[in-house]
Structure 1
Amino acid sequence: MLRKGDVFAGYTIRRVLGYGGMGVVYLARHPRLPRLTALKLLNRELSADDESRRRFEREADLVAQLEHPNIVNVYDRGNDDDQLWISMQFVAGTDVATADVNVLTPDRAVQIVAETATALDFAHAGGVLHRDVKPANILLAKPPIGRPERVVLTDFGIAAVRDSETTLSSAGTITATLAYAAPEHITGAPLDHRADQYSLACTLFWMLTGSVPFPGPNPAAVIQAHLSKPVPPLRSLRPDLPPTLETVLARATAKQPEARYASCTEFAQAAKAALFAVPGPWHHHQQTTATGVVLRAREPYPQQHYSRPATPPQPYPQARPATPPQPHQQAPPTTPAQPHQHVPRPPTSGVPPRRGTQRPGTIDFPGGRNHPGYIVPPQPRRPP
């Protein structure tokens, strides 16, 4: 068991992400690149088993060929101190198994199934069967702000190539989780892509009800129910769901693969159509993308919270009528200027006063040698 700070195959361990049937997955830092990866290590007790080693290595080889946005990416694999490891994409978020089914809405459950179906059909087109589809292997990546969540399918640990003569489960052990395993997988019959569809339908049943289709008290009871009993009525646990959705689940979980849908995407589309065929609260959350995936939109705010009450449009005020121009009024005739009348001064003694002097008792003109208000005394008369 590695601890925080330990170095394995050049990767610095941060913490444990989870445990599986074949090993432990750690969050580790890449030795050369500035990124975090999911480092999956095969248990040492299984490393001695040749079949377990081949299965572990086959997972890396198969997933490395599947480049799809809804499938986890594999970066590298190797052997360090006789312990096999796989370096995979780290998906920040959670898985469907840890989701609260009381909060998980039906439209969101259908959206998760639709994106998982896209990943499965892509793998099936490449000849790869997952064979262990369950809520714990469906990751919900933490979305950026303003973007919908991304569903990522992981853990192809028991995947196999379709139509191969030998499979990695030839030892006769049941490697898939019994609660979601198809009948043909339990009996060891040849498998095809419709076995993954059966497991995906059981996963949808759990997301809608919070219970697996066959919750038996022991593995033998679960196996017997998968082989002989039909899926319980969906409305017995969720009366608010439309009855047509029960029909879709019954077909996807048929005991004979020939009675199921042709592909996982066809099953997801049928579930979507059945859910939205009947009016329900999920209608207000529906938002379909160009790829046909149903997203859950945020509930809109009430209009009065963010908009003003509408007011009737007011007529555009017309301009005032222009006042007609008035005729030009001539100014009243002015009195013609009268010629200046000279007022003769009273006679003096015959001698004009000198410049800068005035008659006794008067004020000298401004700018003279005497300041204003100065009284000029009389001057004595000089002889000629």
Structure 2
Amino acid sequence: MVSDGTVFAGYTIDRLLGRGGMGSVYLARHPRLPRWTALKVLNQELFSDSEIRARFEREADLVAQLDHPNIVTVFDRGLEGDQLWISMQYVDGVDASMLNPQTLPPDRAVQIIGETAAALDYAHRAGVLHRDVKPANILLARSDSQERVYLTDFGIARLRDDSGHLTETGSFTATLAYAAPEQLTGAPLDHRADQYSLACTLYSLLTGAAPYEAPSPAAVITGHLQSPPPPISPRRGGLSPALDAVMNRALAKRPADRFDTCGEFVEATQRAMRTSTGARPIVRPTSGAHVIATPPVQPVRPSTPQHPTPFRPPVVPQRAPQPQQRVQPSQPAWVAPQRTGQPIPVQQFAPPPRPVVPQRRTNWGAAIALYVGLLLAVGLLAALIAMLAS
């Protein structure tokens, strides 16, 4: 370790910021510029390992090619004695692993993942795979107005088309809890391996544990390779069940079943969060007002029976039509004005036709038969009287 206050490679060491498996990171003052720098120094005992030494140098070379607001900038690298060092942008803040999932709002967790996804998609377009995405490698800068997210530690990153990568067959360098299945089996990698690790990171930020967290490494590996993704909505109250389907796709065993980019994964997550139907805790207003819970509306039962009697209109007795009598108005009646704008008296028009009154028909056949019958009766009566008289 480098002592505080000493000068190393021209940089004045202020204090130790953190230690990792490959080296230590110090806060140092730039030798010529008035700014603070994060100085990453390779552990001295690892200098003799040619693979680790080459990986350390390649981190600076790869990140130096990336220029993105969400990626920590690399300024310089060099050799001091038998120790390699990298000078990087200093981010005054904490890493995402220090956040408390119990108090971290889900929207803020998605915002952190969203900015990290933008950095990863940019690196992927440049042909760089990070291969170690996890909460500890996401830095959150303190700001008075807005939080700034940085992706850091490209220590095991490599070019996507690099067939002669440094990691030997059978060795593993990524963080086990966030590693994609293809990393564990040594299969060819592409940008969707980082997407898998990003989904594990979101799972950890929302629940406080990685998806396949287990006591033994063998159980963790078995989870990544064989177990279905555990639903995230039961692990945290208020999360929509729609988020489970999004996480299932991002954590698919086959890379071809995942999202095409990290940005698409974040967009699907945001849509699932907006359509949340889960029961979220009620936020009481600070102004003193109270939230009144509205009971659910109960359906109103109809007052009529289920099988009502069919409606029959009332029978209106028919009245014989009466002849219409024309009533002479005391004043001239008026109709609507025509285009000329002048009213026209009703008397100028012909009166309406009288209603036709049906006439009774006379049954002439019956009358003639009655008349003939009377004549026959009279004739018979006359003949009878004549016979009696003779």
Residues 105 and 282 in structure 1, CA contact (< 8 A), matched pair in contact too: no
What corresponds to 1:108 in structure 2? 108
- Match status 1:227 vs 2:225: yes
Task: Calculate the aligned-residue CA RMSD, in Å.
Answer: 2.0
| Residue ranges of structure 2 left out of the alignment (5+ in a row) | 290-390
1 or 2 for the larger relative contact order (CA 8 Å, sep ≥6)?
A: 1
Letter in 2 for 1:10: G
Alpha-carbon distance, 1:43 to partner: 0.8
Q: 1:273 to 1:53 in 2, by over 3 A?
A: same
In 2, Cα distance between equivalents of 1:300 and 1:149: 25
What corresponds to 1:165 in structure 2? 163
Residue-by-residue CA offset, 1:329-352 (whole Å, 9 max, x unaligned): xxxxxxxxxxxxxxxxxxxxxxxx
Alpha-carbon distance, 1:280 to partner: 6.8
In 1, Cα distance between equivalents of 2:278 and 2:214: 32
- Match status 1:7 vs 2:7: yes
Alpha-carbon distance, 1:245 to partner: 0.3
Alpha-carbon distance, 1:284 to partner: 11
The range that moved more, 194-203 or 99-108, is: 99-108
SS of equivalent residue, structure 2 residue 264: helix
What corresponds to 2:319 in structure 1? none
TM-score normalized by the length of structure 2: 0.71
Alpha-carbon distance, 1:165 to partner: 1.2
Residues 91 and 139 in structure 1, CA contact (< 8 A), matched pair in contact too: yes
What corresponds to 2:327 in structure 1? none
| Residue ranges of structure 1 left out of the alignment (5+ in a row) | 286-298, 305-384
SS of equivalent residue, structure 1 residue 151: strand
- Match status 1:200 vs 2:198: yes
What corresponds to 2:212 in structure 1? 214
The range that moved more, 235-244 or 201-210, is: 235-244
Q: 1:277 to 1:35 in 2, by over 3 A?
A: same
- Superposition pairs for residues 33-72 of structure 1, below 5 Å? 33-72=33-72
In 1, Cα distance between equivalents of 2:255 and 2:282: 35
In 2, Cα distance between equivalents of 1:94 and 1:235: 27
Residue-by-residue CA offset, 1:11-53 (whole Å, 9 max, x unaligned): 1111111111110000011111111100001111111011111
SS of equivalent residue, structure 1 residue 17: strand
In 1, Cα distance between equivalents of 2:198 and 2:183: 14
Aligned counterpart for 1:257 among listed residues 252, 255, 258: 255
Letter in 1 for 2:118: T
Residue-by-residue CA offset, 1:83-118 (whole Å, 9 max, x unaligned): 100000000000000111111111111101100000
In 2, Cα distance between equivalents of 1:210 and 1:278: 20
What corresponds to 2:312 in structure 1? none
In 1, Cα distance between equivalents of 2:157 and 2:279: 38
Q: 1:171 to 1:48 in 2, by over 3 A?
A: farther
TM-score normalized by the length of structure 1: 0.72
Residues 5 and 14 in structure 1, CA contact (< 8 A), matched pair in contact too: yes
What corresponds to 1:82 in structure 2? 82
Residues 276 and 283 in structure 1, CA contact (< 8 A), matched pair in contact too: no
SS of equivalent residue, structure 1 residue 12: strand
Alpha-carbon distance, 1:282 to partner: 8.4
Q: 1:268 to 1:300 in 2, by over 3 A?
A: farther
Runs of 4+ in 1 over 6 A off after TM superposition: 280-285
How much identity, in percent, do the aligned residues show?
Answer: 61
SS of equivalent residue, structure 2 residue 132: coil
- Superposition pairs for residues 89-104 of structure 1, below 5 Å? 89-104=89-104
The range that moved more, 148-157 or 163-172, is: 163-172
In 2, Cα distance between equivalents of 1:138 and 1:283: 29
Letter in 1 for 2:245: T
SS of equivalent residue, structure 2 residue 88: strand
Residues 70 and 151 in structure 1, CA contact (< 8 A), matched pair in contact too: yes
What corresponds to 1:119 in structure 2? 119
Residues 107 and 282 in structure 1, CA contact (< 8 A), matched pair in contact too: no
- Match status 1:28 vs 2:38: no
Letter in 2 for 1:106: P
In 2, Cα distance between equivalents of 1:88 and 1:301: 44
What corresponds to 2:268 in structure 1? 270
- Match status 1:247 vs 2:245: yes
Q: 1:279 to 1:220 in 2, by over 3 A?
A: closer
What corresponds to 2:178 in structure 1? 180
What corresponds to 1:18 in structure 2? 18
Residue-by-residue CA offset, 1:52-103 (whole Å, 9 max, x unaligned): 1110010000000101000000000000102100000000000000111111
